[in-house]
Amino acid sequence: MCSPERFAVEYAINPWMDVTTPVDTALAVKQWDRLRETLVNLGHTVHLLEPQAGLPDMVYAANGAFVVDGIVYGARFKHEQRAAEAAAHRAFYEEQGWRFIAPNETNEGEGDFAYVPEAHGGLVLAGYGFRTDPAAHAEAQEALGRPVISLHLVDPRFYHLDVALAAIDDTNIVYFPGAFSHASQRVLAQLFPDAVVADDTDALAFGLNLVSDGAHVVLNSEATRLAEKLKAAGYTPVPVELAELKKGGGSVKCCIAELRH
């Protein structure tokens, strides 16, 4: 994770960002800190990246890489404004001794890649249409040795896969069908017949931008209907308030890069 001490909306690269809306940075830090504490209280170890001047989106740490089986497939940002973030992530992984594979293709890490470890032996789900280039899906498959399923995102409000879909345990996902092309909706329905399906209200409240340890699902507190659905499906929803970070177009999942050994 990376503290939003330097978070601001200085440019608009997704429909949620409005440079004229003021950001309360102190409140962003407070809300983010509660998310960090929530993860620690659930038993997770949180490593921190140092926020850097001139990189106001660095708080969205999910975009810096995608890690599966201890292999790190690095990011290459679409927009120049975020390009320098990739090096900060790379340095973290290299210092910690992870196997790092540098990308040639444009991709925004866990923003557009999800992993479902026990689905069909281990499946990578990958989004394209706004940020990540489909060529990066093939590159990720070669880097990671896991099948990559390409999914077409068609609604600009859901510009990253992780605002429209999330793994909720080792075999299952939750998603909002309307974010995907009809063909990609069919693919998802075939692969995940038991998926939890979210509605547009919860999706627009960033409810799908969640992290789950298989039992506890940490999600944006505004996604109340989704929390009820997850409860009915046997999970424990853990709501957190992240209103300030919504102004940059992100929530829970965007703030977290998952380290998969």
Among the listed ranges 20-28, 141-149, 230-238, 243-251, the one in contact with ligand ARG (CB under 6 A) is: 243-251
Residue 23 corresponds to which amino acid? V
Among the listed ranges 179-187, 196-204, 219-227, 247-255, the one in contact with ligand ARG (CB under 6 A) is: 247-255
Q: Does 165 participate in binding ligand ARG (rule CB under 6 A)?
A: no
Pick the closer one to ligand ARG by CB: 17 or 259: 17
Q: Does 198 participate in binding ligand ARG (rule CB under 6 A)?
A: no
Q: Is 255 annotated in the active site?
A: no
Q: Does 85 participate in binding ligand ARG (rule CB under 6 A)?
A: no
Among the listed ranges 66-74, 83-91, 173-181, 246-254, the one in contact with ligand ARG (CB under 6 A) is: 246-254
Each as own residue / partner, the long-range contacts of residues 235-243 (CB below 8 Å, 24 or more positions apart, any chain) are: 235/168, 235/169, 238/38, 238/42, 240/31, 240/34, 240/35, 240/38, 241/31, 241/34, 242/31, 242/32, 242/35, 242/206, 243/27, 243/31
Please state, in angstroms and as integers, the Cα–Cα distance from residue 150 to each residue in 65, 73, 186, 215, following that order. 17, 16, 12, 27
Near ligand ARG by CB under 6 A: residue from 6, 90, 146, 160: 160
Coil, helix or strand for 192? coil
Q: Does 13 participate in binding ligand ARG (rule CB under 6 A)?
A: yes
Provide the terminal-to-terminal Cα distance of the chain, rounded to the nearest Å.
Answer: 17
Number of H helices, E strands in the chain: 7, 12
Q: Which 103-122 positions form the footprint of ligand ARG (CB under 6 A)?
A: 111
Pick the closer one to ligand ARG by CB: 11 or 186: 11
Residue 28 corresponds to which amino acid? A
Question: Structure tokens of 16?
Answer: 């949620």
Q: Does 219 participate in binding ligand ARG (rule CB under 6 A)?
A: no
What x/- string results for residues 52 through 71 when contact with ligand ARG is judged by CB under 6 A? Answer: -----x--x-xx--------
Total of residues contacting ligand ARG (CB under 6 A): 16
Secondary structure (DSSP) of 126-177: EEESSSS-HHHHHHHHHHH-S-EEEEEB--GGG-SGGGTEEE-SSS-EEE-G
Q: Does 127 participate in binding ligand ARG (rule CB under 6 A)?
A: no
Pick the closer one to ligand ARG by CB: 48 or 189: 48
Q: Does 239 participate in binding ligand ARG (rule CB under 6 A)?
A: no
Q: Does 14 participate in binding ligand ARG (rule CB under 6 A)?
A: yes
Task: Name the minimum Å distance from CB 248 to ligand ARG.
Answer: 4
Q: Is 137 annotated in the active site?
A: no
List residues binding ligand ARG (CB under 6 A). Answer: 13-14, 17, 57, 60, 62-63, 82, 111, 160, 162-163, 248-250, 254
